[in-house]
Structure formats: C-alpha cells, structure tokens
A and B are shown apart, each in its own frame.
Chain A
C-alpha cells in the first residue's frame, strides 16, 4: 500500500516515533526512531534508528525484518501505525544530517511543551544511526479514542 500526501506532510513535522520488532522466538521489543522519510511513491518509510541505544531492535530487523512503527505528534496525540517488513542498511551522509536535524527539531518541540531538554537527551540521538527501509503493508489510525486501531485504506 502507499501513504498519501497528508501523511507525508505529517511525517515531516515534529513527530515522535516508536518501533516494534520481535526476535526469532517472538519476543517483542520497543525502540525509538531518530528520523523518518517517506519515499516519493509513499510505499516505503525509511526510519533512522540509533544502534547505540537500540541494538536489539536492529538485530531483530536484520533477523526477520518484521516491523511496526508508530508516529505521533506529542502536542495533539494524532498518531498512526504502519506495519511491514524492513531492510537495514548503513545511512548515507544526508540521512545522518537528517537524523541530527530531527533530534534538534523534536527536542526543541518537546521543550516547548514543557518537557525538560535534559530528559529528551536520554531518548533522542543521532549516535550510530542506521537506516531501516520499511515496505508498508498496512496502516492504522492510532489517535487515542474509539477510532484507534481502524485501518487506513
């Protein structure tokens, strides 16, 4: 499936992302992303992930590629989740710069919402980022409320 232009715009904003993967035994793990870019045709989301903070996530993606990723605006809680398969690769220079920009932008945004910057520094980093190209198979609404979980056509 592909994601529309509205979601592409949303992904360029100050969003937080969470990545779910699982190991060969089916045990899931959580990670945070450090940047995302949607492909031109909207079928692939490239998520940047710090292997320093989230080695298990990267190991799982290398093992089986199964991925769920949630994108949320911390000011409005508007959120959606995509599911698919991901391939891990090294980042390009422009992607490393993108991760650094993302960390700065999101940190500033969270600080504007009253979250101390020293707290954000534990969560968001461009250190040792790798790229996960996620082929999007399904997408779901995840804004809190009764519509959470509904499939996005």
Chain B
C-alpha cells in the first residue's frame, strides 16, 4: 500500500493523532492540525504547540500517526520515524500556507503561526477494519471535472467587457465547483489588501470590503500564489475559539462586512496572476463539508489563470471614449433640500455620504473626483480617457483596472442606496445620475 492512495487523509478534514514515547517509555498523545504527504514514503506534520512531543521524538524517533480518510471515515495507522524538523524550504512553505489558510480566516494567523514542520518516514500503513466487520459500499464516484472546466473557460472567453467577465468569473466558478457562492477580489498594491469587486450567492455583495493579504483563505491564496482549501471550516472555528479563549486574541472588524456564507464548511481560493503580477483572487465556498478535492484545486487554478488573462484583456481593450468629455447641457434641477454631503478624507481616500461610510482607496478617489467635477463644472458625463489621464486620480500609468474599480463603485452606490449612481452613457463614457445636489468637502490630514 502506497501513501498516494491516502490522499483523502491529508485534507485536514478529521484531526490526525500522533503517539510518541519518551526515553523512559512514557507515552504521549498529541492532535495534529495538518498532516501533509511529501512523497510516497514521507509525511510532514505541523509542529505548533507541542513541546513534549518534540522532546520525545528527539529521544525516541519512532512514533505512530492515526489518520482518517476525510471522505469515508476509514482509519489508518502509520508507523513513522521522525527524521528532522524543517523551519524553511518547500515542505515548510506548503504546510505553512495551508495552515495560514485555516487560521487566517478567523484572524488567528499570528497566534497559530507555524514554527516548524516535522519530517517523518513512513515504514508501514495499516488500514483499520470497520467495527461491523463489513465494509460499507464506497461512495459514488464524482462527475469528471474536465467537461465542466472546458465549459467554464469557453463561457468566460466569450465575454468582451469587464462587467461580463466579472459576472462570468463568478457564475462559472460556481458551476465548475458545484457550489453556491463565490467572490472576486482585486489586489490593491498601494494598500496591501484585496478588495471585493463582486460576489455571487450572498444576501449582500460586500463590494468594497477588504481583506489583508495573507488573511483568510483568499488572502492566503493571493499571498502564497497557491490555491488554498479548507474542508471543514467549523472545525477551524472551534479550534480557533479554543485558542482565542486561552490567549485573549482579538477579532478583526472590517469596515464593510466581507461576504460570507453562514455555516460554510468548504472554502477554496485561487490567486489570479497575469504575467507574474498578482491581479487578485477568486474564492468559493459551500455549506457542504469536504466538497473541494485536489482535482478541484487544479481545475480552479486553470480557470483562474484564464479568468485573470480575460479580465486584464477586457481592461486593456476597453473603449476609451473621446479625449474631451462632453459637456452636459444643464445641471439637473433638484428639489430644494435634496442636497447631500460628501466628505473625502484624502489620507486614505475614504468617502462618506451623509456621514455614512461608502468606500475608500482608488474607488473613493474616483467618486470624489467625479462629484468634484460635477460641482465645479456641472458635468455629469465623463470619458474613460479623461479619467485615466486626470492627474489628481493618481491612477497607475499603465492599465489601471479602471473598469473593475467603476464596477465596484457602481455596486457599492446601489447597495447603499446612495443619492448618486454611475451609469453607462455609451462606449467609454459614464454618467452620474444624481437625486440631489452634492456638497463635496475634502479633509486633508
């Protein structure tokens, strides 16, 4: 029997257990949050908290690991011999990233940071019998994923504009992975965060919500450049709650709530990378336990690469509109008393409308610019070309993801029922739709 047949044991679904014995022959038990298969004869265990285990292994490297198939429940005893601890290198990086995906999603990355991984040689694999004496029938095989991957890539490839690509990225991720909810994040290098461009399958889109790089499953995927998966999120939460109770670690509260499924058990995220540059991440989740398998990881990786290229291409080929933005004939007439107050804090470009937080970062700067122009010039129409060239917007001089920023801003304004909306006014043109007269105040601090 080969370790590669035990892949479903190394998914972190059911905790593994390690038994060691001291030099004097005193046994010890520890629970392991992550066991990874290194190759056909070696496994690596996360070493987070256990001092006794380490002392035992140094004195007596023979140990046993009990692992459980996360799909079926079958148990295996592995005869192992501890070889060494690694605190760097590819195996350490892989387990560290997987562990961060779990612990970061509950804001515990620092508390649960991995110090080293133990490398073990596996000398024997012993499957345990079913207590009934009869093995239950194996579960039905899963549908092959390749046809769904081909369909997803074809669907996103047929889109020409950013809005359509974003929508297809979300709907096709759900179709590919048979899951109800997905989020598209974009990287904001200036802030070192990911922000939600759009989502699918949630009561509120969460557009504009932010996630630090390395935080959560999506943040871990973006930071590591690897697909990240969690198969039993409830266990991660319970585990973290135990640690939090015993360390007093604090929660992190984002300004806009991130979209999230209550009771989600399976989570997966892939980085979106084009030409070696991080564009963002695609994230998906489901209430079903252990829904995403290693083949889903590979399929999402392939789909994410296509989605990232298609997103960038849609931006690059987006209509620019005329060089000079058209003048609007007349300011709309508003009922007296229909004005609204816009406060733009220039230090982080956060924008508040009537004291309610709306958005920050590039999207905040964009909105402040558009409303400021309206105030001084009375214009409601703007061309993409003008926006890209406006020096006060400080957009990066190459392709700046303007389309996705506008998409996000549009959604956020709609969700907040803001007195200003952004509409398309033609190729490369947008229009402000106002239901009152804005008074823009810039606070430079």
A and B physically associate: yes
Counting CB contacts under 8 A, is B267 at the interface?
no
Q: How far is the CA of A75 from the CA of B235 in the complex (A)?
A: 8
> Are A145 and B265 neighbours in the complex by a CB distance under 8 Å?
no
Counting CB contacts under 8 A, is A53 at the interface?
yes
Counting CB contacts under 8 A, is B66 at the interface?
yes
Number of B positions contacting A (CB below 8 A): 50
> Are B73 and A121 neighbours in the complex by a CB distance under 8 Å?
yes
Q: Could you tell me the distance in whole angstroms from the C-beta of B186 to the nearest C-beta in chain A?
A: 33
Which segment, of A5-13, A21-29, A39-47, A88-96, faces chain B? A21-29
Choice from A76, A114, A119, A124 contacting B265 with Cβ under 8 Å: A114
> Are B63 and A18 neighbours in the complex by a CB distance under 8 Å?
no
Chain A residues whose C-beta falls within 8 Å of the C-beta of B77 in the assembled complex: 29-30
Counting CB contacts under 8 A, is B274 at the interface?
no
Q: Which residue of B lies closest to A127 (CB)?
A: B131
Choice from A114, A118, A142 contacting B136 with Cβ under 8 Å: A118
Choice from B26, B111, B234, B242 contacting A78 with Cβ under 8 Å: B242
Counting CB contacts under 8 A, is B198 at the interface?
no
> Are A20 and B234 neighbours in the complex by a CB distance under 8 Å?
no
Q: Could you tell me the distance in whole angstroms from the C-beta of A95 to the nearest C-beta in chain B?
A: 17
Counting CB contacts under 8 A, is B51 at the interface?
yes
Chain B residues whose C-beta falls within 8 Å of the C-beta of A148 in the assembled complex: 49-50
> Are B242 and A20 neighbours in the complex by a CB distance under 8 Å?
no
Q: Could you tell me the distance in whole angstroms from the C-beta of A150 to the nearest C-beta in chain B?
A: 10
Chain B residues whose C-beta falls within 8 Å of the C-beta of A21 in the assembled complex: 19, 27
> Are A122 and B74 neighbours in the complex by a CB distance under 8 Å?
yes
> Are A81 and B19 neighbours in the complex by a CB distance under 8 Å?
no
Counting CB contacts under 8 A, is A100 at the interface?
no
Chain B residues whose C-beta falls within 8 Å of the C-beta of A114 in the assembled complex: 232, 234, 265, 289
A-contact bits for B355-366, CB 8 A (1 contact / 0 none): 000000000000
> Are B26 and A66 neighbours in the complex by a CB distance under 8 Å?
yes
Q: How far is the CA of A19 from the CA of B131 in the complex (A)?
A: 18
Q: Which residue of A lies closest to B111 (CB)?
A: A145
> Are B29 and A81 neighbours in the complex by a CB distance under 8 Å?
yes
Q: How far is the CA of A77 from the CA of B20 in the complex (A)?
A: 21
Q: How far is the CA of A118 from the CA of B72 in the complex (A)?
A: 8
Chain B residues whose C-beta falls within 8 Å of the C-beta of A66 in the assembled complex: 21, 25-27
B-contact bits for A50-79, CB 8 A (1 contact / 0 none): 101100000000001011111010111111
Choice from B27, B30, B68, B234 contacting A123 with Cβ under 8 Å: B68
B18, B234, B242, B243 interface centre (most CB from chain A within 10 Å) = B242
> Are A20 and B49 neighbours in the complex by a CB distance under 8 Å?
no
Q: Contacts A53-B129, A147-B246 known; A27 to B17 CB distance under 8 Å? A: no
Choice from A70, A120, A124 contacting B29 with Cβ under 8 Å: A70
> Are B238 and A77 neighbours in the complex by a CB distance under 8 Å?
yes
A-contact bits for B53-82, CB 8 A (1 contact / 0 none): 000000010111110100011110101000
Counting CB contacts under 8 A, is A83 at the interface?
yes
A to B CB contacts below 8 Å, 5 in the list = A28-B64, A114-B232, A114-B265, A145-B242, A149-B49
Residues of chain A touching chain B, judged by Cβ–Cβ distance below 8 Å, are: 18-22, 26-30, 50, 52-53, 64, 66-70, 72, 74-79, 81, 83, 113-116, 118-125, 127, 142-149
8 extra interchain contacts, Cβ-Cβ under 8 A, other than A29-B77, A66-B26, A143-B246? A20-B21, A21-B19, A28-B27, A50-B131, A64-B25, A76-B241, A118-B72, A144-B48
Residues of chain B touching chain A, judged by Cβ–Cβ distance below 8 Å, are: 14, 17-21, 25-31, 48-52, 60, 62-66, 68, 72-75, 77, 79, 111, 128-132, 136, 232, 234, 238-239, 241-243, 245-247, 265, 289
